[in-house]
Amino acid sequence: MSLASRRVARLAAFSLRRSAHASTSARYNSVNADDIAHFSKFLPTSTILSTLPPQSLPSSELSPFNDDWMNKYHGQSTTVVRPRNALEVSEVVKRCNERGIAIVPQGGNTGLVGGGVPIKDELLINLGNMNKVRSFDPVSGILVADAGCVLESLSEYLAPHNHIMPLDLGAKGSCQIGGNVSTNAGGLRLLRYGSLHGSVLGLEVVLPDGTILDQLSTLRKDNTGYDLKQLFIGAEGTLGIVTGVSILTAPAPQSASNVILALPKFENVLPLFVQAKRQLSEILSAFEFFDREVYDLAIKHGQGRALSEEDVEGAECFVLMETSGGKREHDEEKLNQLLETLFESDKPLINTGVLSQSPAQFASMWAIREGLTEAVSKEGKAYKYDISVPLAKFKEVVDTTREHLGSKGLLRDDAVKHVVGYGHVGDGNLHLNVVAAAYTPEIEAALEPFVYELVASYKGSVSAEHGIGVMKTHALHYSKSNVSIEWMKRIKQLFDPKGIMNPGKVLP
């Protein structure tokens, strides 16, 4: 294909996506005053926000729900409802099913692929009012909670019981467990505690016809029939609304420590990871990498305390390692041995590193890593590519993308300001971030499908943990075969024949 026709094809794909959204709304009815009156029969006024009469709020009141966290996707919903329990959710969904109204389920609205905000004027069902812990068994560690519980508040609830949630991510102060489950969130602890497909024991889901599917089991083992909950975990709200979660929490580690290592070159990350795994073995609980450029951005935007000038000198990238275990002395010994080996070897893999000496420093070092996402957002408009590629190719992906943008003349202060990479090395997951001064079709056209094709060339995943949302529906085929996608569509048809549940998301 010639350069010119390739460009035309790309622009056509771009506008095709736009018009696909337009056709989405043509199939559905919009919420009207009668619907509001119906909801008011069982929902108190404080749980309904609408620009329609009788409330007639200004649309700015609905912005926190209509606009996603990155301020990249903007829905046009007229009405947000915030039910307090599964029955109320069920009643709302029943009405929508009867009337043919499309629904967008929303949790903490911290998603990064536009999956939790409306495309047009779908009814927004926000789960934030369903925020109670239903039960906790301190012996088994099984926690049952409403879907709208904020992840951090669940951690706080568990702390006095000496347990922790099996997942942790930078958005913990706002994200909700229902959303985490619906997106199969990964995060910083996946290396140690595995994915939600393993730690979620049961779900309560409201199906697209309003039926409440109660599979809130608190059993660790239950092999009785098809494991339906696995369909909803990661379905991003397209098969049903998660209203309750039963999850296996882990005993809190008695001791935790972390260290940030400064590496002279990226090539050392892989052998460092191999050595850390070998010497630290079961106490290694996180292994994160971030490049020098994004570290500088984090410090610039005040995320956590900076390392000293001499510690960062000559560092091309950094690794943050966390250890957690049952006995401090045992963990310290293992960690010190590793650090000594690294430091005193003939060809050291690291320049230097810093080790946390107190819980305050521990938190501050994590703050640097967890604050990278926010720093990138403060620096400009971020194009985020959350990809799984072979670990050895991480730097290559970042450099190749940067060169490509350079060849298009887009590396300028008023276009693309930074191309950075950071991520969960231990899980083979790279977060490639292209920081622009503004979101423009030109930059998007330069990046897509370039990045997806690059990932496909490594047989990687175009979405390691962020999900598909509305952003990557057209890119699904880069990582899943047509047969897979066809069967996904059939399952969707089975659960949601009217297609009202979060339309335009996940499936192309």
Token pair belonging to 232: 């909803």
263 near other proteins, rule: CB under 8 A: no
Q: Which of 57, 133, 355, 445 binds other proteins (CB under 8 A)?
A: 355
* Region from 122-130, 347-355, 399-407, 460-468 binding other proteins, contact rule CB under 8 A: 347-355
357 near other proteins, rule: CB under 8 A: yes
CB 188 within 8 A of CB 256: no
Q: Which of 360, 409, 442, 453 binds other proteins (CB under 8 A)?
A: 360
Could you tell me how far CA 466 lies from the centroid of its own chain?
A: 4
Strands 416-424 and 284-291: antiparallel
Q: Residue 346 CB: number of other CB atoms within 10 A?
A: 4
In the complex with other proteins, which residue's Cβ is closer, 19 or 358? 358
Q: How far is the CB of 306 from other proteins (least distance, A)?
A: 9
| Separation CA 176–CA 111 (nearest Å) | 11
> How many residues of this chain bind other proteins (CB under 8 A)?
25
In the complex with other proteins, which residue's Cβ is closer, 274 or 360? 360
Q: How far is the CB of 155 from other proteins (least distance, A)?
A: 13
Q: Which of 53, 359, 406, 441 binds other proteins (CB under 8 A)?
A: 359
Q: Which residues contact 229 (CB under 8 A, 6 or more apart)?
A: 200, 202, 203, 205, 215
In the complex with other proteins, which residue's Cβ is closer, 339 or 485? 339
* Region from 10-18, 303-311, 382-390, 405-413 binding other proteins, contact rule CB under 8 A: 303-311
Q: How far is the CB of 453 from other proteins (least distance, A)?
A: 41
Phi and psi at residue 398, to the nearest 5°: -65, -50
Neighbour-count burial for 97-108, b at 16+ CB within 10 Å, e otherwise = bebebbbbbbbb
Q: Which of residues 391-450 bind other proteins (CB under 8 A)?
A: none
Q: Which of residues 7-46 bind other proteins (CB under 8 A)?
A: 45-46
Token pair belonging to 310: 């001499």
313 near other proteins, rule: CB under 8 A: no
Q: Which of 2, 60, 224, 358 binds other proteins (CB under 8 A)?
A: 358
* Region from 72-80, 168-176, 349-357, 426-434 binding other proteins, contact rule CB under 8 A: 349-357
Q: Which of 60, 224, 308, 481 binds other proteins (CB under 8 A)?
A: 308
Q: Which of 67, 267, 296, 311 binds other proteins (CB under 8 A)?
A: 311
Q: How far is the CB of 340 from other proteins (least distance, A)?
A: 7
314 near other proteins, rule: CB under 8 A: no
CB 78 within 8 A of CB 30: yes
352 near other proteins, rule: CB under 8 A: yes
CA dist 248 → 140, 144, 175, 225, 245 (Å): 8, 9, 18, 21, 10
* Region from 278-286, 355-363, 401-409, 459-467 binding other proteins, contact rule CB under 8 A: 355-363
* Region from 226-234, 339-347, 464-472, 480-488 binding other proteins, contact rule CB under 8 A: 339-347
Classified as helix, coil or strand, 506 is coil
Q: Which residues contact 108 (CB under 8 A, 6 or more apart)?
A: 128, 150, 171, 174, 175, 176, 179
* Region from 318-326, 361-369, 379-387, 498-506 binding other proteins, contact rule CB under 8 A: 361-369
Q: Which of 339, 437, 485, 491 binds other proteins (CB under 8 A)?
A: 339
In the complex with other proteins, which residue's Cβ is closer, 5 or 46? 46
Phi and psi at residue 325, to the nearest 5°: -160, -170
Q: Which of residues 35-94 bind other proteins (CB under 8 A)?
A: 45-46
| Separation CA 471–CA 474 (nearest Å) | 8
Token pair belonging to 250: 């882990």
DSSP string, 73-109: -B---SEEE--SSHHHHHHHHHHHHHHTB-EEEESSS
**DSSP 8-state class, residue 255:** E
Q: How far is the CB of 298 from other proteins (least distance, A)?
A: 15
* Region from 57-65, 102-110, 167-175, 360-368 binding other proteins, contact rule CB under 8 A: 360-368
DSSP string, 185-220: ---TTHHHH--HHHHEEEEEEE-TTS-EEEE----S
Q: Which of 363, 411, 456, 507 binds other proteins (CB under 8 A)?
A: 363
Q: Residue 302 CB: number of other CB atoms within 10 A?
A: 13
Nearest in space to 286 (alpha carbons), one of 253, 245, 329, 264: 253
* Region from 103-111, 189-197, 359-367, 411-419 binding other proteins, contact rule CB under 8 A: 359-367
- Interacting residues with other proteins (CB under 8 A): 45-46, 159, 259-260, 305, 307-308, 311, 339-340, 343, 350, 352-361, 363, 365
